[in-house]
Structure 1
């Protein structure tokens, strides 16, 4: 794993071909300086990407390969996963296109699992057209949680703003029933560990948002904050985790309190993602923390309404590539530092 930055192989799943995924991928690598940081491998088909190139002014050159051992460092590589032609109709929700999105994603995940690529960056998929007998997952994260070691946690990242979720794709009326001491403890520990090994923060400070309005207002507006959250946070704090809260969620971001912490933990999806996306201005990244491998993605969807119109902003995807590289390097450094005491002890013996 001790690789130079330019040798980091970034595997990329192509996402929904009728959306903006392939466009933002190609736009990202229009900048040749990206190839000084990594070697991208797009899991798709070179003919398809040639077709996509024609939908906007593009100078990016890519190299088609049939096997991963044919990848050329410093080039944009496309692994030809299929030979047949695919009908791309920008902006159309098509189950057949969903099949190719999953074919790309599962092949890239296997390559990540087998160590043939170093990190994975996923372009957006449509959660509806990917469903089949062979793939019954709400999205990327749940499948990765099954295939890779660890406990997957959705963390949204933009510079020093990091928002982790206790529950993610859970209906709002079921959130409270999911909030057990075990789950909250596991998720906060995952976030703490990620901040240390993935972001090189030695003693991270973590803020936790309350479930109910005004964090329950002393039990007047729901009792979960007092009966569930507070005891768990106290136990974690007493054990050495720098965790604070629960804070009323409504004023936490607007008042700038979030700037005092290394991560913010939200109880449910929209509680964390609405303020995050408001503040990140299209440069946010979705990072799957807690796994033994690195996966990132942009913070947007397929955007069918602008697909094929040369209107897609690639900044979030570019930031996803940057973050994947940064975390990969940070983990390498963390592992090296962690192993040094063992080497010293061995010499003493």
Structure 2
């Protein structure tokens, strides 16, 4: 099967007062990075020129006004706006939040229309993006609605993949949010993603308990016994390799996670603290469950170092690479799903 030679990678710039533009520039500063993909940055030529000058970069931008002008093998910048933007590094600015959303919406529309193949999003500030027209906790929830999918925050690296039953939910509401239907939905999303996006034919997935020590038979809460365990038993009955619930406190320290293709945590910090401890800088936030591919770095705006030229672009590079790999894996998966007799034994 012939795969697309140059994947078109759309990139939303995120918070302009943060490190997003810097790590985008650094990710594509080496011309060899254009051998696998063609980037399209959703911002403006003026804005990106400012960052090029500020960081004394040698990157060459190719400015376009419409997506039909994308130049393969160049770092394209599509003009989402034309006016000059006042950049104040490290400042939480409502106006800058509006530009972040302009970039995201334009990039998402391009993804829906097929003008770009994948979307990589630079970090946003979840507070300054809020408005009457944009009321989402972050990228994942917005993309789920915009792309009509059941999204799941899936943190991935070479060594570890962690999905979440609940993501940007206050801790006090996490256990009441977890229902049998939610558990089934999230596990099904992880299983499908492992197969079509990562090429794992018979995935093994572990589930972390809701309460400490999985509730200790009701001594420390009963949600694991009354909600999580019964749901897992039903899921196992169809042959799915799902295990747990495991007590989260020793699961990662004992290296038990290495026995599984993915782990599903019950709430945000239960999954992301160990993930970022093990894989920080090399991890990627992948939005599983959508028909389109979206990734992002595993860190935030990093206001404290913005503008200083010291931001590490490793996670942005990995987000770009992961998006390309998933896109190509999906092409292969879809091809062989339609042509099962041609399927190899890999």
Cross-structure match for 2:11: 12
Deviation at 1:78, TM superposition (A): 0.2
Cross-structure match for 2:185: 186
Does residue 1:301 correspond to 2:300, yes or no?
A: yes
Counterpart Cα distance in 2 of 1:341 and 1:122: 34
Cross-structure match for 1:316: 315
The answer for unaligned runs of 5 or more in structure 1 is 345-349
The within-5 A match list for 1:23-102 is 23-102=22-101
Distance 1:69 1:273, change over 3 A: same
Cross-structure match for 2:140: 141
The within-5 A match list for 1:128-207 is 128-207=127-206
Partner SS state of residue 39, structure 1: strand
Partner SS state of residue 15, structure 1: coil
1:65-108 superposed Cα distances (whole Å, 9 cap, x missing partner): 00111110000000011111110111111101111000000000
Contact kept? 2:336, 2:342, Cα under 8 Å = no
Does residue 1:247 correspond to 2:246, yes or no?
A: yes
Deviation at 1:341, TM superposition (A): 3.6
Partner SS state of residue 323, structure 2: helix
Counterpart Cα distance in 2 of 1:82 and 1:318: 26
1:45-81 superposed Cα distances (whole Å, 9 cap, x missing partner): 1111111122223111110000111110000000011
Cross-structure match for 1:114: 113
Cross-structure match for 2:334: 335
Deviation at 1:31, TM superposition (A): 1.9
Deviation at 1:226, TM superposition (A): 1.0
Counterpart Cα distance in 1 of 2:251 and 2:233: 20
Distance 1:259 1:295, change over 3 A: same
Deviation at 1:282, TM superposition (A): 1.4
Contact kept? 1:2, 1:332, Cα under 8 Å = no
Contact kept? 2:298, 2:315, Cα under 8 Å = yes
Deviation at 1:192, TM superposition (A): 0.3
Counterpart Cα distance in 2 of 1:161 and 1:104: 30
Cross-structure match for 2:279: 280
The answer for unaligned runs of 5 or more in structure 2 is none
The within-5 A match list for 1:215-234 is 215-234=214-233
Distance 1:129 1:235, change over 3 A: same
Partner SS state of residue 151, structure 2: strand
Contact kept? 1:197, 1:331, Cα under 8 Å = yes
Partner SS state of residue 26, structure 2: helix
Counterpart Cα distance in 2 of 1:265 and 1:103: 33
Counterpart Cα distance in 2 of 1:231 and 1:269: 22
Contact kept? 2:159, 2:279, Cα under 8 Å = no
1:5-54 superposed Cα distances (whole Å, 9 cap, x missing partner): 3x210000000100000000000001222100000000001111111122
Contact kept? 1:12, 1:43, Cα under 8 Å = yes
Counterpart Cα distance in 2 of 1:321 and 1:149: 23
Partner SS state of residue 287, structure 2: strand
Partner SS state of residue 152, structure 2: strand
Partner SS state of residue 150, structure 1: coil
Counterpart Cα distance in 2 of 1:159 and 1:338: 25
Q: TM-score, normalised by structure 2?
A: 0.97
Counterpart Cα distance in 1 of 2:147 and 2:82: 28
Contact kept? 2:120, 2:323, Cα under 8 Å = yes
Partner SS state of residue 52, structure 1: helix
Counterpart Cα distance in 2 of 1:76 and 1:2: 24
1:192-233 superposed Cα distances (whole Å, 9 cap, x missing partner): 000000000000000000010011111111111111111111
